[in-house]
Amino acid sequence: MKRMLRNAILSSALLAAASVAVPAAAQDEAIYIPNLAYRTGPFAATGTPLMNGQRDYITLLNERDGGLNGVKLEYDECETGYNTEKGVECYEKTKARAVVTQPWSTGITLQVLPKSNVDKIPILAPGYGFSPMADGKVFQWAYNPPSSYWDGASMILKNISDGNLDSLKDKKIAFLHLDHPFGKEPLPLLEVLAEKHGFNLVPIPVGLTEMQNQSAQWLQIRRERPDFVVMWGWGAMNAGAITEAVKTKYPMDQFVGVWWSGHDGDLKLVGDQGKGYRSISWSVPNSEAPLMADIKKYVVDAGKSQINQGEGEFDSVFYQRGLMISVILVEGIKAAQEEFDVRNPSPEQLRWGLENINLDEARLKELGAEGMLVPFSTSCADHTGHGGGWMLQWDGAKFVKASDLLTPDRAEIEKLEAEKAKEYAEANAPWPVNEECSM
Partner 1 sequence: MEFLNDILIKPFADMAAAPDFLLQVLWEGLVGGVLYALIALGFVLIYKSSRIFNFAQGIMVVFAALTLVGLYEKGVPALLALPLTLAVMLVLAMTIERVVLRPLVNQPDIILFMATIGITLFLIGFGELIFGGENKVMITEQLFIPTGSIVFEPFGGFVSIEEKDLTAVIGAMVLVAALLVFLNKSKIGRAIRALGDDHQAALSVGISLSTIWVIVWFIAGVIALATGIVWGARAGVSFALEVIAFKALPVLMLGGLESVMGAIIGGLAIGILEKLFEIYWGQPLLGGNTEAWFAYMLALLVLLFRPQGLFGEKIIERV
Where along the sequence are the contacts to partner 1 (CB under 8 A)? Answer: 39-49, 179, 203-213, 215-217, 219-220, 222-223, 235-236, 239-240, 243, 247-249, 265-266, 268-269, 308, 310-311, 313
Supply the minimum distance, in Å, between the C-beta of residue 267 and partner 1. Answer: 10
Supply the minimum distance, in Å, between the C-beta of residue 51 and partner 1. Answer: 9
Give the closest residue to 102 by CA, choosing from 78, 120, 130, 85: 78
- Write the DSSP assignment of 183-215 as a string of letters: HHTTHHHHHHHHHHHT-EEEEEEE-GGGTT--H
H/E segment holding residue 246: helix 236-248
Supply the minimum distance, in Å, between the C-beta of residue 339 and partner 1. Answer: 38
Give the closest residue to 73 by CA, choosing from 103, 40, 35: 35
H/E segment holding residue 270: none
Amino acid found at 396? G
Supply the minimum distance, in Å, between the C-beta of residue 28 and partner 1. Answer: 34
* DSSP reduced 3-state for 93: helix
Planar angle of CA 46, 331, 31, nearest 5 degrees: 85
Supply the minimum distance, in Å, between the C-beta of residue 306 and partner 1. Answer: 9
In the bound state with partner 1, the residue whose beta carbon lies nearer, of 113 and 245, is 245
In the bound state with partner 1, the residue whose beta carbon lies nearer, of 89 and 348, is 89
In the bound state with partner 1, the residue whose beta carbon lies nearer, of 66 and 251, is 251
Supply the minimum distance, in Å, between the C-beta of residue 143 and partner 1. Answer: 27
Separation CA 98–CA 289 (nearest Å): 31
In the bound state with partner 1, the residue whose beta carbon lies nearer, of 37 and 289, is 37
Separation CA 128–CA 145 (nearest Å): 8
In the bound state with partner 1, the residue whose beta carbon lies nearer, of 82 and 149, is 82
In the bound state with partner 1, the residue whose beta carbon lies nearer, of 179 and 370, is 179
Residue 67 exposed, middle or buried by CB count within 10 Å (0-12, 13-18, 19+):
middle
